[in-house]
C-alpha cells in the first residue's frame, strides 16, 4: 500500500484547511487522517466513482482535476462541476449510506488519497483530534456543495426571470425579425439546458435520511463525550 509523502501530506492538509474553513481547523489533524489512506493514481478518463453504485470510500484530491457528472431527467450526462486540488469528494455516500449521487472522472492524470469506510467510521466514532477534524471537514464540505447549488439556483432565477433581459431588442409582437426570433430560441434553449443542469445538481441531495439521522446521533454522542472529558480535565486542573 502506497502512502502519501510527508511533504505532500503537509502541503495538501494546509490547502484543505484553507479551502474548507471549519471551527478548530488543524492541518496537523488532517495530516493524520491523510496518513491513514492509500495514495492511488488514475489516468485521464478513469472513473473514480460511478453514479448509482454503492460507495465505500472517500477521496482527497492530491493532484489533477476531476469532472463531476450526473444524469438529468432525460438520461443525459450533465457536468455539475470541475474540481481542482485541494478537494474532498465521494463522502456523501459514506456519510448516509446512500448510493453515489454523481460520477467523478479524471480530467487528465490525477492522484488521490483513498480513505475506506472502515477507517472513516472508526474516526467518526472516536474522540481523537483526527476524528474531530474529519467530522468537521466533511460537514464543511457538504455545506460548500449545498451553497454552490443555491448559488446556481439564484443565477438561473436572475438570468431567466425575464427572457427579454437577454435580448433587449426583442418584443412580443408578431413582426419580429428572423434574427430576433433566433436569439429568442437560443435564450429558451439555454433556459432548458440550465434547468436540466439544476435538476441534476439538486438530485444529488436525495439522501437516505434514516442513515443520516443515525450518523448525526453518533456524532452528537462523540461530541458530548469530548465535552465531558474537557470539563473533567479542567476540574482536575
pLDDT in tens, 186-207: 555 666 666 666 556 555 545 5
Q: Which of 63-72, 77-86, 113-122 has the lowest mean pLDDT?
A: 77-86
Contact in structure between 94 and 58 (CB atoms under 8 Å):
yes
Confidence label for 112 from pLDDT (cuts 50, 70 and 90): very high
DSSP 97: -
Number of Cβ atoms within 10 Å of the Cβ of 235: 7
pLDDT value at residue 59: 96
Q: Which CATH class is domain 6-149+204-231?
A: mainly beta
Confidence label for 114 from pLDDT (cuts 50, 70 and 90): very high
DSSP 73: T
pTM as predicted:
0.66
Q: Which of 8-17, 160-169, 188-197 has the lowest mean pLDDT?
A: 160-169
Domain ranges of the chain: 6-149+204-231
For residues 104-134, one letter each, b for 16 or more C-beta atoms within 10 angstroms of the residue's C-beta and e for the rest, the string is bbbbeebbbbbbeeebbeebbeebbebbbbb
Task: Give the separation between CA 33 and CA 2, rounded to whole angstroms.
Answer: 15
Q: What is the mean pLDDT of residues 99-108?
A: 93
Confidence label for 111 from pLDDT (cuts 50, 70 and 90): very high
Contact in structure between 93 and 101 (CB atoms under 8 Å):
yes
End-to-end CA distance of the chain: 43
pLDDT value at residue 137: 87
pLDDT in tens, 27-71: 899 999 999 999 999 999 999 999 999 989 999 999 999 999 988
Task: Tell me how far CA of residue 49 lies from CA of 40, 68, 101, 171, 237, in angstroms.
Answer: 13, 10, 9, 47, 49
Contact in structure between 91 and 134 (CB atoms under 8 Å):
no
Residue in the structure block whose three cell numbers are 483526527: 130
Task: Tell me how far CA of residue 210 lies from CA of 76, 98, 102, 204, in angstroms.
Answer: 30, 10, 20, 17
Amino acid at each position: 500500500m502506497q502512502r502519501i509523502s510527508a511533504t505532500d501530506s503537509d502541503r495538501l492538509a494546509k490547502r484543505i484547511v484553507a479551502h474548507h474553513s471549519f471551527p478548530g481547523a488543524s492541518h496537523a489533524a488532517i495530516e493524520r487522517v491523510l496518513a491513514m489512506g492509500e495514495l492511488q493514481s488514475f489516468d485521464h478518463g478513469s472513473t473514480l466513482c460511478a453514479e448509482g453504485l454503492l460507495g465505500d470510500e472517500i477521496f482527497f484530491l492530491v493532484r489533477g482535476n476531476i469532472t463531476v457528472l450526473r444524469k438529468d431527467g432525460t438520461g443525459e450526462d450533465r457536468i455539475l462541476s470541475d474540481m481542482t486540488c485541494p478537494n474532498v469528494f465521494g463522502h456523501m455516500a459514506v456519510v448516509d449510506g446512500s448510493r453515489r449521487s454523481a460520477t467523478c472522472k479524471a480530467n487528465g492524470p490525477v492522484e488521490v488519497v483513498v480513505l475506506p469506510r472502515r477507517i472513516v467510521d472508526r474516526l467518526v466514532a472516536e474522540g481523537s483530534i483526527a476524528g474531530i477534524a474529519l467530522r468537521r471537514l466533511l460537514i464543511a464540505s457538504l455545506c460548500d456543495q449545498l451553497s454552490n447549488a443555491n448559488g446556481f439556483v439564484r443565477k438561473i432565477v436572475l438570468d431567466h426571470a425575464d427572457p427579454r433581459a437577454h435580448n433587449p431588442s426583442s418584443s412580443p409582437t408578431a413582426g419580429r425579425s428572423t434574427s430576433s426570433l433566433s436569439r429568442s430560441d437560443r435564450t429558451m434553449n439555454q433556459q432548458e439546458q440550465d434547468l436540466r443542469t439544476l435538476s441534476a445538481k439538486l438530485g444529488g441531495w436525495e439522501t437516505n435520511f434514516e442513515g443520516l439521522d443515525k450518523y448525526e446521533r453518533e456524532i452528537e454522542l462523540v461530541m458530548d463525550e469530548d465535552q465531558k472529558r474537557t470539563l473533567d480535565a479542567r476540574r482536575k486542573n
